[in-house]
């Protein structure tokens, strides 16, 4: 197991370096002079040249990469042309909001997909299963931003009981920043008003994001459970008089979760990137929205930072998922067929 | 001999989208205390279906049993409630699956799965600790001639060879005392030498524990080596039943004779050279004898009417109009 973990970590490092090279190359081959864009068309040429030197744009590409990568490792992505601040400061401000959103959304879809999947399998081919199936097809087919708009209309206009904009109501003082996750920070400082307010604000955007993965995984869990119910080892265990609850809890559940966990991990890792429209709609000050704005403004440093961070998060999540799968499945953990 | 198990006119149907597949078609079969019987027939004739219905492990949503009784020690298994059937499964009857590779759960160790069987057998009092259970399991693994039982105990199924998995399946079936063992084509997936070892091992274990045995096989040759009495099954019917000696001395049913031509081994899954044709459609079976389309001795009546089982000589039953 230890060998497996170190192998995966090692691979992860390689992938991050690969991504960074790719991003760097892309950011340098796109047309347009970043220095000129930063200063605007009317700036004098000497100022542009000055800035080019400052950004090391006058050096050969490999040297530029070394400058850039050593900065990245120290968390220095340079200045954002757009916000005129160090990119890292922007990231520190916007990333926690997206992480909080993704974590809560992940919690929602993991929890409810397991419940729905178990119910659908337990009552397969009955009306319960039918309803869950119908809901699932709808939930999978409708994109997150449509769900977001519908929720927005519903709770912003028709039935305004849950806040629909931002992370916190304006009349509530935000807790001091510790982790940047308002729910965590407010709990840590014992500020329950802020905690519940933040939770309410989280609900709709994370629900909008959770709907797709939720129903997809409920379907996967249901089909993997029903598949495994027909397996010979279940009929054999039944034949030895193993009690129904042990068969369900032990013999069936563990093998059935293996495919679901992999998909959950992928979905969770993609949440952050996919959060853009949902963040826009709910005015959620997240990094996904920030990243898209950076792209529209050709803010290269900011774009690189967002992609490197998303890439790193994706890899870390995948490693964690692989470890969970390996702990469930001895065939992966110990190698072999 | 006192009957331990008595199957009477058992019918088992599978529901399919085209209608019911009437696979097991009213079979009668019994096993005495300490008796070893064989159930012989080609692939797809319903051997596994019959045996799984004894333990009631067929998917109840797909299977319909319109008629029949399975009397075990005086009570009908098909009419038992959940607790009663669990008692039978835990203490009385165990079955070795036809597919040892699929019979073991891939995500738990072999030892874990054996321990679960022991724990559920309910045959040990509270003083019987986990350590005792483990040593019981280890001993049972050693009994099937595995030389390093401790290592195997901690192995996962994918780490074991086919022969090992087959032995582990035997361990699970025999680790706690039972009265009847059903062995579904043990060793068919293995090479002939190992298969032979497995057969001899099974026989010695069953005899040592004074159990009854139902041995399922494709091959009359295998049955001849192992069992006292043989049932020949064709397309869900028992076509002939006799003591092993009598059956080989005087095979009556045309199907049995066809099988005899392929002793010692009828290849699994196929129709031998000895018999022409294929297993009939179970969804629209003929009203007559199911063997009729392939029968070299078919008469006109065979296509219209089912041949009843008739006593040819003492203890020798045959279902064929030739002897009616
Ligand atoms: N779930 C099912 N639904 C429909 N038909 C089935 C089902 N399971 C088995 N059958 C059919 O029932 C017949 C008997 O199957 P069974 O497995 O009992 O045969 P068998 O005698 O054990 O064969 P083998 O020697 O190959 O193991 C086959 O024709 C098979 O196609
Ligand atoms: Mg079979």
Task: For ligand 1, say whether the CB of B46 is within 6 Å of any of its atoms.
Answer: yes
User: Does the pLDDT of residue B276 top 60, yes or no?
Assistant: no
Q: Please name the residue whose Cα sits nearest to atom 18 of ligand 1.
A: B46
Domain count, chain A: 1
* Residue B266 located in a structural domain: no
Do the beta carbons of residue B2 and residue B8 sit within 8 Å? no
Question: CATH number for the domain including A244?
Answer: 1.10.3720.10
* Ligand 2 centroid to residue B268 C-alpha, Å: 10
- Ligand 1 atom nearest to CA at B236: 14
Domain of A155 in residue numbering reads as: 96-285
Per DSSP, the three-state class of B176 is coil
* Residue A158 located in a structural domain: yes
* Ligand 2 centroid to residue B48 C-alpha, Å: 4
How far apart are the C-alpha atoms of A245 and B120, rounded to whole Å?
Answer: 12
Which residue in the set B89, B99, B159 is minimally distant from A241, CB to CB?
B89
Element counts in chain A: helices (H) and strands (E): 16, 0
pLDDT band, very low/low/confident/very high, at B92 (cuts 50, 70, 90): very high
B86/A336 Cβ within 8 A: no
* Residue A299 located in a structural domain: no
* Residue A224 located in a structural domain: yes
* Residue A32 located in a structural domain: no
pLDDT band, very low/low/confident/very high, at B285 (cuts 50, 70, 90): confident
Q: Which of A1-10, B51-60, B257-266: highest mean pLDDT?
A: B51-60
Do the beta carbons of residue A194 and residue A174 sit within 8 Å? yes
B155 touches chain A (CB under 8 A): no
B89 touches chain A (CB under 8 A): yes
Q: Shortest Cα distance from A225 to chain B (angstroms)?
A: 14
Model pLDDT, residue B164: 92
pLDDT in tens, B113-168: 999 999 998 877 777 888 888 999 999 999 887 889 999 999 999 999 999 999 99
Domain of B103 in residue numbering reads as: 3-240
Q: Shortest Cα distance from A251 to chain B (angstroms)?
A: 7
User: Residues of A at the B interface (Cβ-Cβ below 8 Å)?
Assistant: 125, 230-233, 235-243, 246, 250-251, 254-255, 258, 328-331, 334, 336-337
Task: For ligand 1, say whether the CB of B62 is within 6 Å of any of its atoms.
Answer: yes
For chain A, how long is the longest CA-to-CA vector?
Answer: 86
* Residue A266 located in a structural domain: yes
pLDDT band, very low/low/confident/very high, at B275 (cuts 50, 70, 90): low
Domain count, chain B: 1
Q: Which residue has the higher pLDDT, A58 or A127?
A: A127
Token pair in block for residue B251: 């095979």
* Residue B277 located in a structural domain: no
Question: CATH number for the domain including B153?
Answer: 3.40.50.300
* Residue A113 located in a structural domain: yes
pLDDT in tens, A192-207: 888 888 888 899 999 9
* Residue B167 located in a structural domain: yes
Residue A28: phi and psi, rounded to 5, are -95, -20
- CA B187 to chain CA mean position, Å: 13
* Residue A199 located in a structural domain: yes
Using CB atoms and an 8 Å cut-off, which of residues 100-119 of chain B contact chain A? 102-109, 113, 116-117
Percent of chain A with pLDDT over 70: 99
Count of CB atoms situated within 10 Å of the CB of A73: 8
Q: What would the mean pLDDT of B232-237 be, rounded to a whole number? A: 94
Q: Chain B residue with minimal CA distance to A252?
A: B105
Kindly state the helix (H) or strand (E) to which residue B9 belongs, with its residue range: strand B3-16
Taking CB atoms within 8 Å and a gap of at least 24, the contacts of B255-263 are B255/B291, B255/B294, B255/B295, B256/B220, B256/B232, B258/B296, B259/B40, B259/B220, B259/B232, B260/B220, B262/B220, B263/B219, B263/B220, B263/B221, B263/B224
* Residue A87 located in a structural domain: no
pLDDT in tens, A272-302: 878 888 888 888 898 998 988 888 887 888 8
A125 vs B contacts (CB less than 8 Å): 61
How far apart are the C-alpha atoms of A213 and A211, rounded to whole Å?
Answer: 6
pLDDT band, very low/low/confident/very high, at B269 (cuts 50, 70, 90): very low
Token pair in block for residue A311: 């890439």
* Residue B173 located in a structural domain: yes
Q: Shortest Cα distance from B301 to chain A (angstroms)?
A: 41
Model pLDDT, residue B167: 93
Q: Chain A residue with minimal CA distance to B61?
A: A125
* Residue B301 located in a structural domain: no
Model pLDDT, residue A310: 87
- With CA atoms as reference, report the closest residue to B307 among B255, B265, B268: B255
Do the beta carbons of residue A240 and residue B56 sit within 8 Å? no
């Amino acid at each position: 197991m230890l060998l497996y973990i170190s192998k995966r970590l090692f691979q992860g490092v390689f992938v991050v370096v690969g991504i960074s090279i790719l991003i760097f190359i892309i950011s340098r081959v796109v047309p347009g002079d970043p220095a000129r864009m930063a200063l605007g068309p009317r700036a004098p040429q000497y100022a542009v040249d000055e800035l080019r030197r400052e950004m090391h744009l006058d050096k050969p590409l490999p040297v530029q990469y070394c400058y850039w990568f050593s900065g990245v490792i120290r968390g220095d992505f340079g200045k954002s042309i757009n916000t005129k601040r160090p990119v890292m400061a922007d990231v520190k401000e916007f990333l926690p909001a997206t992480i909080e959103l993704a974590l809560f959304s992940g919690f929602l879809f993991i929890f409810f997909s397991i419940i729905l999947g178990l119910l659908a399998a337990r009552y397969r081919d009955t009306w319960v299963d039918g309803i869950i199936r119908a809901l699932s097809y709808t939930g999978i087919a409708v994109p997150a931003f449509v769900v977001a708009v519908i929720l927005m209309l519903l709770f912003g206009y028709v039935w305004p009981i849950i806040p629909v904009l931002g992370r916190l109501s304006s009349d509530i003082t935000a807790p001091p920043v510790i982790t940047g996750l308002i729910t965590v920070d407010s709990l840590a400082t014992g500020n329950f008003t802020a905690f519940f307010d933040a939770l309410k604000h989280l609900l709709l955007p994370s629900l909008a994001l959770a709907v797709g993965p939720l129903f997809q995984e409920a379907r996967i869990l249901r089909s993997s459970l029903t598949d495994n119910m027909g397996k010979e080892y279940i009929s054999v265990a039944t034949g030895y008089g193993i009690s129904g609850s042990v068969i369900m809890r032990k013999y069936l559940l563990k093998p059935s979760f293996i495919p679901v966990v992999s998909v959950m991990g992928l979905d969770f890792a993609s949440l952050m990137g996919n959060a853009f429209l949902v963040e826009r709609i709910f005015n959620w000050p997240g990094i996904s929205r920030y990243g898209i704005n950076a792209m529209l403004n050709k803010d290269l440093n900011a774009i690189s930072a967002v992609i490197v961070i998303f890439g790193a998060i994706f890899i870390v999540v995948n490693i964690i998922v692989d470890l969970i799968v390996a702990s469930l499945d001895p065939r992966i953990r110990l190698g072999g067929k | 001999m006192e009957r331990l198990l008595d199957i009477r006119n058992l019918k088992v149907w599978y529901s399919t989208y085209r209608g019911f597949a009437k696979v097991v078609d009213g079979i009668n079969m019994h096993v005495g205390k300490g008796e070893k019987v064989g159930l012989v027939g080609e692939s797809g004739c319903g051997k596994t279906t019959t045996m799984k219905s004894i333990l009631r492990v067929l998917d109840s949503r797909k299977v319909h049993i319109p008629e029949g009784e399975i009397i075990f020690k005086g009570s009908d298994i098909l009419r038992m409630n959940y607790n009663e059937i669990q008692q039978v499964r835990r203490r009385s009857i165990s079955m070795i699956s036809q597919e040892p590779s699929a019979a073991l759960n891939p995500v738990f160790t072999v030892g874990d799965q054996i321990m679960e069987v022991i724990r559920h057998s309910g045959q040990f009092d509270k003083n019987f600790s986990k350590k005792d259970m483990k040593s019981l399991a280890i001993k049972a693994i050693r009994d099937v001639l595995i030389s390093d039982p401790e290592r195997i105990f901690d192995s996962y199924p994918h780490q074991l060879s086919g022969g090992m998995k087959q032995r582990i399946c035997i361990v699970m079936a025999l680790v706690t005392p039972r009265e009847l063992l059903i062995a579904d084509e043990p060793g068919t997936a293995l090479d002939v030498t190992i298969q032979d070892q497995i057969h001899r091992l099974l026989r010695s274990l069953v005899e040592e524990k004074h159990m009854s045995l139902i041995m399922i096989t494709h091959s009359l040759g295998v049955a001849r080596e192992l069992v006292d009495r043989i049932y020949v099954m064709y397309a869900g019917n028992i076509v002939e039943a006799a003591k092993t000696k009598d059956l080989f001395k005087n095979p009556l049913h045309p199907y049995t004779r066809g099988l005899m031509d392929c002793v010692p081994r009828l290849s699994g899954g196929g129709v031998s050279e000895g018999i022409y044709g294929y297993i009939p459609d179970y969804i629209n079976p003929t009203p007559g004898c199911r063997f009729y389309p392939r029968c070299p001795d078919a008469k006109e009546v065979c296509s219209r009417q089912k041949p009843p089982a008739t006593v040819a000589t003492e203890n020798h039953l045959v279902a064929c109009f030739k002897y009616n």
